[in-house]
Structure 1
């Protein structure tokens, strides 16, 4: 389907599937872009129409102003996703994307739309707090953190021209997530938290604290790996999402 009001700019569909019974909406991590989720879209195209957020300031939107506030980003995204709710919708966000997905879900339920399930990956709960100021570091310091998380291809990090294009988006996203919260809000969607057992950005206990942010069921799944376990354990994560989508369809 084509959604009005400029959502084609925000929501990317690499494998349109208008006849499948569910939708999966993916929210990228800090500095991430829609293309990161291309493999997920390909793997799940028979189970779901996958719509992926493309935030301003990256790839084909690189000339647009960045949004460095989570609340503002969620305010802009929420109305664009409303037309997707003609069938069960599942949200999946990784790292910063988990928080954006949570905040969009909060706004949508106030509009009468509740995601059938919310998957929050690689991110501690909104009510937890750490003092973080990576966004205030110089370029070398910022990139050192990104490299430590292995969230961006090292070939990209070594290409000065590409690096100049992506660095402002990375810094803006880091500012957004590092100045967020803590928040104690809840969603009415069931929540599944996914976490790597060696993630420097969240302990298992901090991920487990997501249970306080849903009025519905909660599940915690721990994977071997660091912050980007969703890449190193891609097949397993994809299967978890597939099961969630099928469950959402079964519930209706």
Structure 2
């Protein structure tokens, strides 16, 4: 597992009153030709993708899904029923569909992104699944049965979360209900073990990720009935943080021909 510890994204954030419920604009004012919708990992909020904004090509507007229960939606109960979440996101996306969409979902976010893509009348131009376990199996459901102390230790070891969470009771009280709800959500986001997604799909993952294995990669390949690409990056489960620029470059490469000119850095 990579030694980097995932930052716990706090509740302090900017609220955009005109943003659709469930989506947070991270490049407000940018007028691009494409819209990238980012789906955070378990326990995270939209600001997990905040640092992507300045590095993305000027033709790409960035929005991130804001799950209930975090950041400016901290007053809401987290959702653990997939259909309830999808029912929120479909109308949130409606005003954004006048431009082609790209979905990027990391870990739990990959499963949410696939579920939403399959629920839309028109799938996204490109679906990018990042470090997500098999869409056919609930691989990490055993975490749901762990008591508080054991779950904290497992998250800090296996997931790479900041170990200060163990000694910070207030932060743990805030964070654990989110992670439990997200784990329950993930365990219910299961798909038929057959080809079922017909639009372009790409799989991104870290070469040292201990939370996914070869079978996970094969299962994502199996569900894709259309164009499928696979890209490997240095790092572990949170390679999207340690290799942010390389990941964004990978996104740009997938969209080659859709972007007007090289991205300004």
Q: Equivalents in 2 of 1:248, 1:187: separation in Å?
A: 22
CA contact (8 A) 1:20 1:49 kept: yes
Residue in structure 1 matched with residue 27 of structure 2 by the alignment = 15
State which of 32, 36, 47 in structure 2 corresponds to 1:24.
36
CA contact (8 A) 1:195 1:204 kept: no
Structure 1 gap ranges (5+): 1-5
Bigger shift: residues 13-22 or 35-44: 13-22
* TM-score normalized by the length of structure 1: 0.86
Q: Equivalents in 2 of 1:235, 1:24: separation in Å?
A: 16
Residue in structure 2 matched with residue 191 of structure 1 by the alignment = 201
Secondary structure, counterpart of 1:49 in structure 2 = strand
Residue in structure 2 matched with residue 115 of structure 1 by the alignment = 124
Q: Deviation at 1:155?
A: 4.5
Q: Deviation at 1:66?
A: 1.4
Secondary structure, counterpart of 1:8 in structure 2 = coil
CA contact (8 A) 2:20 2:92 kept: no
Q: Deviation at 1:126?
A: 1.1
CA contact (8 A) 2:138 2:186 kept: no
* TM-score normalized by the length of structure 2: 0.82
Q: Deviation at 1:235?
A: 1.4
Residue in structure 1 matched with residue 252 of structure 2 by the alignment = 242
Secondary structure, counterpart of 1:9 in structure 2 = coil
Q: Equivalents in 1 of 2:144, 2:225: separation in Å?
A: 33
2:82 is the alignment partner of 1:70: yes
Bigger shift: residues 12-21 or 179-188: 179-188
Q: Using a 3 Å threshold, how does the CA distance of structure 1 residues 158 and 35 change in structure 2: closer, same or farther?
A: farther
Residue in structure 2 matched with residue 3 of structure 1 by the alignment = none
Q: Deviation at 1:182?
A: 4.7
- Counterpart mapping for 1:1-252 below 5 A: 8-44=20-56, 46-108=58-120, 111=121, 113-128=122-137, 130=139, 132-155=141-164, 158-184=167-193, 186-248=196-258
Q: Using a 3 Å threshold, how does the CA distance of structure 1 residues 131 and 169 change in structure 2: closer, same or farther?
A: closer
Structure 2 gap ranges (5+): 1-17, 261-265
Q: Deviation at 1:98?
A: 0.1
CA contact (8 A) 1:196 1:223 kept: yes
Which structure: greater helix fraction?
A: 1
Q: Using a 3 Å threshold, how does the CA distance of structure 1 residues 7 and 141 change in structure 2: closer, same or farther?
A: farther
CA RMSD of superposed structures (Å): 2.4
Bigger shift: residues 212-221 or 130-139: 130-139
Secondary structure, counterpart of 2:113 in structure 1 = helix
